[in-house]
Amino acid sequence: MQPYRNCDVKRRLPGCIIIGTPKSGTKALIEFIGAHPDVEIAQGEAKFFNRNDNYYKGYQHYLKKMPLSCPDQITLEKSPEYFYSRVAPYRIHKMNHSIKLIIIVKDPVQRAISDYIHRRTTFSGRKETNYTFEELVYDNSTKKLRTQYLPVIRSIYYRYILNWLTYFSPNQIHVADGNNLIVEPQDELSKVQDFLGLERLITKDSFVYNSTKGYYCLWTHSSTQCLAPCKGHKNHSVSPELVNKLNLYFKPYNELFFNIINKRLSWS
């Protein structure tokens, strides 16, 4: 709850949800926009609309995961796995057909590599973690990409956004650029503030570059707020030849995605 506000404080259903994509900067984006005085953010990931064990507990269960807010504030939550869920769009639309949604995506090759690193770290007991990214996505015997590897499949964005556009109009969905968020965070935050109808209070002066971490941190009240050390990791080393093969593979899918959202992104 933002300090020094006097209002009818209670937990409210979100007016906006960051629905994805994983490993593209969702954590940084929600932390940055959460610095705005007219925004209250949920901590953690609700994972309500994509998981039956949560959804069937009802909205009261969901509300418990929301922050306290005032009537004139926007409640915002993020659950990046929503983007890939077949049922989440319908369920969110059923809750609020006029809600605003934010998708953040980055270069699909980089996202796939980051996804691999996350899976290797999080699921250390799985057989998959015994292999390098190169071994999982490229078959040396056939000289072909293994395009059914999940981190690769999940970087084909156009396949998933079509499901969301079945329930929501394009003007309800803002697509943020995860690559640009790293180098020009104030640019992406200006667009998000405009999309949410907020005054542009988060500006270039709101950020400071941390040369040790290698990314921008939020500056508030003479202190800096950075993501946890596990965030912003350097990507796993991948050969330029494999990166080029993946870029060529993703190119037609990227073009389909750009046509659907009617804009290009910095990594196009």
Is 110 a domain residue? yes
Q: What is the CATH number of the domain that holds 96?
A: 3.40.50.300
Is 138 a domain residue? yes
- Taking alpha carbons only, the member of 92, 104, 98 closest to residue 22 is 104
Is 176 a domain residue? yes
Contact status, residue 241 vs residue 225, Cβ threshold 8 Å: no
Model pLDDT, residue 230: 47
Is 3 a domain residue? no
Measured CA to CA, the distance from residue 66 to residue 68 in angstroms comes to 7
pLDDT in tens, 3-56: 657 899 999 999 999 999 999 999 999 999 999 999 999 999 999 999 999 999
CA-only gyration radius of the chain, Å: 19
Q: Taking the model in full, what pTM does it have?
A: 0.92
Helix boundaries (H) for 81-132: 88-95, 108-122
Is 266 a domain residue? no
216 is in an annotated binding site: yes
φ, ψ of residue 28 in degrees (nearest 5): -60, -45
From the candidates 23, 27, 100, 106, which is the catalytic residue? 23
Q: Is the pLDDT of residue 125 over 70?
A: no
Query: Confidence class of residue 127 from pLDDT cuts 50, 70 and 90?
Result: low
Measured CA to CA, the distance from residue 17 to residue 1 in angstroms comes to 18
114 is in an annotated binding site: yes
Q: How many domains does the chain have?
A: 1
Mapped onto helix, strand or coil, the DSSP state of residue 34 is coil
**Per mean pLDDT, which range of 168-177, 197-206, 228-237 is the poorest?**
228-237
Percent with pLDDT over 90 in the chain: 82
Measured CA to CA, the distance from residue 267 to residue 251 in angstroms comes to 11
pLDDT in tens, 173-206: 999 999 999 999 999 999 999 999 999 999 999 9
Is 171 a domain residue? yes
Q: Is residue 23 flagged as an active site residue?
A: yes
Model pLDDT, residue 215: 82
DSSP label of 25? S
Full residue range of the structural domain in which residue 139 is found: 10-261
Model pLDDT, residue 42: 98
Is 207 a domain residue? yes
Burial of 199: CB neighbours in 10 Å, binned 0-12, 13-18, 19+: exposed
Query: Confidence class of residue 211 from pLDDT cuts 50, 70 and 90?
Result: confident
